């Protein structure tokens, strides 16, 4: 069984690239929160 890794609280493109480059299978982005907008705007998120 292969262990999959998710890195959460990604708040910038450079953090996402680092996590993916280090082998993350998936990432969790910081977007809208009850307290207000997060650092990653919705229009910058897309599935690939």
Share of the chain above pLDDT 90, in %: 56
Q: Which of 8, 4, 43 is nearest to 29 (CA)?
A: 8
CA geometry: angle 33, 36, 41, nearest 5 deg? 75
- Per-residue pLDDT tens over the stretch 4-48: 999 999 999 899 999 999 999 999 999 888 888 888 888 888 766
How many residues make up the chain in this entry? 48
Query: pLDDT per residue over 18-30, tens digit each?
Result: 999 999 999 999 9
Q: What pLDDT is attached to residue 48?
A: 61
Whose tokens are 């990653």? That residue is 40
């Amino acid at each position: 069984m292969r262990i999959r890794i998710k890195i959460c609280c990604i708040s910038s493109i450079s953090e996402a690239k680092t996590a993916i480059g280090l082998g993350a299978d998936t990432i969790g982005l910081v977007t809208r929160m009850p307290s207000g907008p997060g650092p990653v705007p919705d229009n910058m998120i897309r599935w690939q």
